[in-house]
Amino acid sequence: MEFKDVVRRRRMIRTYADQPVDPAIVDRALSNATRAPSAGFSQGWAFLLLDTAEDVRLFWASTTGAEDLAAPDTWLTGMMRAPVVIVPCSNKSAYLSRYAEPDKGWTDEDEARWPVPFWHMDAAMASLLILQTAVDAGLGACFFGVPPEHLPQLAEAFEIPAEFTPVGAITLGHRVEDVGAPGSPTRRPRLRLDEVVHRGRW
């Protein structure tokens, strides 16, 4: 697929066909994720791959309240159909220690030196490559947030080490068009270029 088509066709898919995903595609998505840029080449990311029905069930059980799980809405019903869930995680400590190395020299490991949390940014860039790989392979994917109150349970269920923070999660599967929960783009327009680009001066 042409790159411009990958970019244009990508959108979040929130329901999936009852069809397994070729593990080679999942591997390609993860491999592509590691081609993302990272500050100081810190690569302070990690990806929890859940690709068995049991693990995917445990993911939803650990990130969803009991009431919602008992009566899933359209969003949850569609998302739970995805055969694969990837949890991209960021590792702040990898950045602090990387930037304390001689070529960077921030030996105080002071977080205030960072203009924004590059560890989350890099995990997000890697996540986009997973989403784009899905489109390129003719699959669908959706990046979504994990409610903060469920993060401890998620970490415990899958033994995620304390230094790794899930920045969200990605469902991956065969896309089912125009079914499932509609995304925000059905309710609000894409901003025009002249609304977001400031040429030369703001």
Site residues for ligand FMN, 118-147, by CB under 6 A, read 142-145
Residues 48/140, Cβ–Cβ less than 8 Å: no
Q: How many CB atoms lie within 10 A of CB 110?
A: 11
Residue 182 touching ligand FMN (CB under 6 A): no
What is the residue whose two structure tokens read 């469920």? 150
Q: Helix axis angle, 53-63 relative to 151-158, nearest 10°?
A: 150
Residue 186 touching ligand FMN (CB under 6 A): no
| Alpha carbon distance 30, 133 (integer Å) | 9
Amino acid (one-letter) located at 69: L
Contact window for ligand FMN (CB under 6 A) among 16-24, 36-44, 115-123, 183-191: 183-191
| Alpha carbon distance 160, 165 (integer Å) | 8
CB of 14 to ligand FMN, least distance (A): 6
Residues 20/83, Cβ–Cβ less than 8 Å: yes
Residue 184 touching ligand FMN (CB under 6 A): yes
Site string for ligand FMN, 58-97 (x = CB under 6 A): ----------------------------------------
Considering beta carbons, is residue 148 or 200 the nearer one to ligand FMN?
148
Among 6, 9, 11, 62, binds ligand FMN (CB under 6 A): 11
CB of 174 to ligand FMN, least distance (A): 17
Residue 183 touching ligand FMN (CB under 6 A): yes
Q: How many CB atoms lie within 10 A of CB 50?
A: 23
Considering beta carbons, is residue 117 or 183 the nearer one to ligand FMN?
183
Amino acid (one-letter) located at 10: R
Q: Which residues bind ligand FMN (CB under 6 A)?
A: 11-12, 14, 142-145, 168, 183-185
